Amino acid sequence: GAGVSQTPSNKVTEKGKYVELRCDPISGHTALYWYRQSLGQGPEFLIYFQGTGAADDSGLPNDRFFAVRPEGSVSTLKIQRTERGDSAVYLCASSLGGRATDTQYFGPGTRLTVL
Amino acid sequence: GDSVTQMEGPVTLSEEAFLTINCTYTATGYPSLFWYVQYPGEGLQLLLKATKADDKGSNKGFEATYRKETTSFHLEKGSVQVSDSAVYFCALSETTSGTYKYIFGTGTRLKVLA
């Protein structure tokens, strides 16, 4: 079956611009997570959705970052006024029910480069 | 808060050698533990997991046992192959906030030489 998909796979933008990153989770998965992975590091949590609501956004670094999941399926991570420090791979993951024992399935990521 | 510590890489082994990648964790609840693998040019894939103390996860010849007394989840394989060359991440699902977000280690790069 289809896995988690993310678009675009690569995004190059200029400092100060606005970007949107899209995640399409596995069908039927109610839990959706966004992570950010910097070079040589493990992924770091950004935000968690259970259904349509953001149940935990404690990992968002500042108010330039925002994410939505209006219909409980596709999610969009939005970054305003991008900075060079935002350059990283942004990963999306989904799981069946958002429980501790659930496996999270990761997408291939979007590599964001801010010039 | 919860954290995961992995041994630093890179780890370079000859084919058929024994592999151990150490992983220890700190957690206030009772997390599930995971090993993910990232092959060159690919996304993160689940390798194995264990959801309670003394559980052993296994897959593709890899094993790891959830040791609550030593707060460890070391990854082992008896005989590595060149195709095992990848970056391995240890992770736990954080339980105290109710979100079960993953906390990852920094990753260990494995290179297996023919």
For A14-78, give the secondary structure using H, E and C: CCCCCEEEEEECCCCCCEEEEEEECCCCCCEEEEEEECCEEEECCCCCCCCEEEECCCCCCEEEE
Q: Is B25 on the interface with A (CB under 8 A)?
A: no
Q: How far is B31 from chain A (nearest CA, A)?
A: 7
Query: Which pLDDT tens digit goes with each residue over A70-112?
Result: 998 999 999 999 999 999 999 999 999 878 788 999 999 999 9
Give me the pLDDT at residue A44, please.
96
Q: Is B89 on the interface with A (CB under 8 A)?
A: yes
Residue B13 half-sphere exposure toward CB, CA atoms < 13 A: 22
Q: How far is A86 from chain B (nearest CA, A)?
A: 19
Q: To probe the interface with A, which of B88, B101, B103 has the most A CB atoms within 10 Å? A: B101
Q: Give A1's pLDDT tier (boundaries 50, 70, 90).
A: low
Q: To probe the interface with A, which of B45, B99, B104, B109 has the most A CB atoms within 10 Å? A: B99
> Which of A62, A58, A77, A109 shows the shortest CA–CA distance to B94?
A58
CA B72 centroid distance within chain: 10
Q: Do A98 and B100 touch (CB under 8 A)?
A: yes
A chain contacts of residue B44, beta-carbon cutoff 8 Å: 43, 91, 106
Q: Do A42 and B106 touch (CB under 8 A)?
A: yes
In this complex, which of B32, B93, B99 lies closest to A56 when CB atoms are compared?
B99
First vs last C-alpha separation in chain B: 41
A chain contacts of residue B98, beta-carbon cutoff 8 Å: 55-56
In this complex, which of A40, A43, A101 lies closest to B104 when CB atoms are compared?
A43
Residue B25 half-sphere exposure toward CB, CA atoms < 13 A: 29
More confident residue, A2 or B80: B80
CA B109 centroid distance within chain: 11
- For chain B of 114 residues, list the mean pLDDT of each consecutive stretch of 10: 91 97 92 94 92 95 96 97 96 83 95 96
The pLDDT of residue A23 is above 90:
yes
Q: Do B101 and A103 touch (CB under 8 A)?
A: no
